[in-house]
Amino acid sequence: MFRSRQDGSQLPIVVASDQEHRRLKSKMRIYVLGNANRSGVSEEVARWLPFLRERAQVLTVDLRQEQNLSDLPEADLALVFGGDGAILRAARQMAYRQTPVLGVNLGRLGFLADIHPQELHQCFEQVLQGNYRLTRHLMYECIIAAGSPPTPLPLGEGRIGAPAHDGAFLGLNEVVVHTSPPLHMLDLELEVDGVAVSRFSGDGLIVSTPIGSTGHNLSAGGPILGQELSAFVLTPICPHTLTYRPLVESAEKTFTIRFGGGAEKAMVIIDGQETKLLSAGQVVTIRKAPVTFSLVKVPQRSFFQILRDKLHWGTPPTYHGEP
């Protein structure tokens, strides 16, 4: 069937059947994101795109974090190719309009991106059939400001698409305050809800979410937190003291880091990927973000299984002479 254009040429009219209309109307909308700088990611995405476009509406393919996703229609799912770092970038790229993430692991460890490429076909079909669950995870805002900490803003108001405060950064894993070259010790003062908690000298401090607790926090001697807890863990880095230990505290609190001296020798690292050098007199504030990160989990894949598989956590030693 054809209809006439104003210039007299003919354009085909494609009339979808009722069944096709219902299928297209309910077709899942997805973002395809990832890290093109990681070997094999671009090739893997190209291999899977025909399969994905057959089963879903692909709204964008962005492997270099070039798109402002808030300018695009909302998606039902973000399929992220790469390692955990690619998921951390995707979470910040989605900003205050978070979309559930299914991670395809092309990295090394894969705590968040726990689907192997050879499992994608089966797992994606499970997602289309609704055979999955969503886990929701704490995100944070890190605010770097001069002088006093910023006045708290109501959570969830006017926060879509952009930070609510100049110098505010949204993140998922952790904030690290660390000495910068020439790597002299920092004098740190920690406050929780405006109440002084501790003062110490050292290389820095990690404020980690449960998702980030298996990263830098773990390496620095901090505890592993249950992934869906609403809590932060504060872990010092090489404190020059015998008494300071990691602290787990409610995510409803606000954490402020001041510098007894040497702020100009410090830097703030967001999720291990963004680095901001501090100036004298600046204060770092970390608080719960008004949005949460959502992870798509397929059946028979638990956090404790990932700990056992990736870190060999909770497994007995192999004794001499035993298989």
Q: Cis link prior to 182 (omega < 30° from 0)? A: yes
CATH number for the domain harbouring residue 182: 2.60.200.30
Same-domain pairing of 97 and 128: yes
User: Which is the catalytic residue, given 62, 84, 114, 271?
Assistant: 84
pLDDT in tens, 254-301: 999 999 866 678 999 999 999 999 988 899 999 999 999 999 998 766
Residues 176 and 52 in one domain: no
230 and 120 together in one domain = no
CB of 54 closer than 8 Å to CB of 24: no
Residues 86 and 171 placed together within one structural domain of the fold: no
pLDDT in tens, the chain (323 residues): 333 333 443 333 333 344 433 444 478 999 999 999 999 999 999 999 999 999 999 999 999 999 999 899 999 999 999 999 999 999 999 999 999 999 999 977 778 988 999 999 999 999 999 999 999 999 999 999 987 665 554 444 434 334 445 578 999 999 999 998 888 899 999 999 999 999 999 999 999 999 999 999 999 999 999 999 999 999 999 999 988 899 999 999 999 999 986 667 899 999 999 999 998 889 999 999 999 999 999 876 678 888 888 788 877 766 666 55
Does 109 lie in the same domain as 82? yes
Q: Distance between CA atoms of 231 and 112, rounded to whole angstroms?
A: 18
Q: Are residues 53 and 181 in the same domain?
A: no
At 81-116, the pLDDT tens digits run 999 999 999 999 999 999 999 999 997 777 898 899
Please tell me the pTM assigned to this model. 0.84
Catalytic residue at 84? yes
Question: What's the token pair of residue 18?
Answer: 């009722």
Residue 69 shares a structural domain with residue 39: yes
- Count of the separate structural domains present in the chain: 2
Domain shared by 70 and 8, yes or no: yes
Question: Which domain does 15 fall in, by range?
Answer: 2-132+298-311
**Do 284 and 143 sit in the same domain of this protein?**
yes
